[in-house]
Structure 1
Amino acid sequence: MVRKFLFMMLVLALPTGLLAQQVPGRDPDAPIEIEADNLEVRQEQQLAIFTGNVDAVQGGMTLRTDELRVTYRQDGKGGGADVGGAISRLEAIGSVVIITAKERATGRRGLYNVDAGTMQLEGGVQLFRDENVLTGQTLVMNLNSGVTTLDAGQRGRVKGIFRPDKSKSN
């Protein structure tokens, strides 16, 4: 499930019209490596908290954040009462950055609700690909319906800057 989180967070970083394209370096079967300054596991709350300079890497994708909270459940699908249980929710808090070879997305909080099938990036969201930029406050992707929205909230309007591809001119 962590792999799906990284992939879906990465898909959110793609500008309009690129959502259906393959993400370079995406490999859902690749192992995921998480490094952080600290890890705290709260067994009774079914929660693992990675804090301080968190880097989660899978294949060609990287998620950087201040804190990554992994909520898991003991439903018999992933190994019982340890952190290997089935993941139900992932939350990235503080200076969230998702990077691939061609895309980058930033925000202050990312949330993947596995049970609801939704992904969200919020708080000063910026989506970059080449010189193109989309900005807003909240980006939501419903994985069940395939509908993605970028909302400006009460801070104004959604903004997009799209620059022509200079390599295709002439």
Structure 2
Amino acid sequence: MTFSARHAAVLPALLVAALGLGTPAGAQSFGNSFNGLQVKGDQPIAIDADQLDVDDKQRIATFSGNVEVAQGDTLLKTSKLMVYYAKPAGAGGETGGAAKPEPAKTGGGGALPGGSNQIEKLDAQGKLYVRSTDQVATADRGTFDMKTQIAVLTGNVVMSQGDNVARGDKLTIHMDTGIAQLGGSGRVKILMAPDQNGQNQAKR
């Protein structure tokens, strides 16, 4: 199933963890300086893209072309987003039980997997940009695993808040606790701006 026009889709709260970079993000390395980058479970998530392809057999929904995912103050941008979803409970001809919730609808009128299906993983391919309030994280790629509650951003990772900047090859975020680790094969670089009292705002 392919939707060629731009679409806006509202997904259930299952997608919240995909953007939930937690608090405090980067806690192990930066104290409390990067403590935003979070979303709220009571707000809808909207996905906008040039094209949406749904492979229900493989259970993959692929958004491509200027993909934007927004919820509240949090915005994620990438060139391609693959959403992996599980078979809904009660599928396969089973009868009885509670009625299944309606799937989310795209702007083109098609059913988007996620309303009645559980999202297992999201894979953001191409340059990844995440902004929440005054905090920004960028990387070459990002994977969000709903089962393990771990998000991994890789390749030229940059985290910034105001004049505070941290760079590394890999950012691992435990979405359930908010603990984040910045590292990788190369060296971690941190630029800390002094506060009004002349003290650094972030500490390693």
For Structure 1 versus Structure 2, the TM-score category normalised by the shorter chain is 0.7 to 0.9
Residue number in structure 2 paired with 1:165 = 195
CA contact (8 A) 2:17 2:175 kept: no
1:56-105 per-position Cα deviation (integer Å, ceiling 9, x unaligned): 00001000000111000014187599602100001111110001221000
Secondary structure in 1 matching 2:147: coil
TM-score, with structure 2 as normaliser: 0.71
Secondary structure in 1 matching 2:21: helix
Find the aligned partners of 2:161 and 2:34 in 1 and give their Cα distance: 15
Unaligned runs of 5+ in 2: 1-13, 91-99, 104-110, 199-204
Counterpart selection for 2:173 from 129, 141, 159:
141
Residue number in structure 2 paired with 1:16 = 30
CA contact (8 A) 2:150 2:173 kept: yes
Residue number in structure 1 paired with 2:41 = 28
Secondary structure in 2 matching 1:138: strand
CA contact (8 A) 1:132 1:162 kept: yes
How many angstroms does 1:149 deviate by? 1.7
Point out the structure with the larger helix share: 1
CA contact (8 A) 1:118 1:141 kept: yes
Which amino acid in the other structure matches residue 48 of structure 2? E
The within-5 A match list for 1:13-162 is 16-18=30-32, 21=35, 23=36, 26-76=39-89, 83-84=113-114, 85-143=117-175, 147-153=179-185, 156-162=186-192
TM-score, with structure 1 as normaliser: 0.84
Find the aligned partners of 1:71 and 1:133 in 2 and give their Cα distance: 32
RMSD between aligned residues = 2.8
CA contact (8 A) 1:63 1:99 kept: yes
Higher relative contact order structure (alpha carbons within 8 Å, sequence separation ≥ 6): 2
Find the aligned partners of 1:109 and 1:10 in 2 and give their Cα distance: 21
Find the aligned partners of 2:71 and 2:136 in 1 and give their Cα distance: 15
Find the aligned partners of 1:35 and 1:82 in 2 and give their Cα distance: 12
Q: Call closer, same or farther: CA 1:24–1:82 in 2, change over 3 Å.
A: closer
CA contact (8 A) 1:112 1:119 kept: yes
Secondary structure in 2 matching 1:18: coil
Find the aligned partners of 1:51 and 1:105 in 2 and give their Cα distance: 20
Which amino acid in the other structure matches residue 17 of structure 1? G
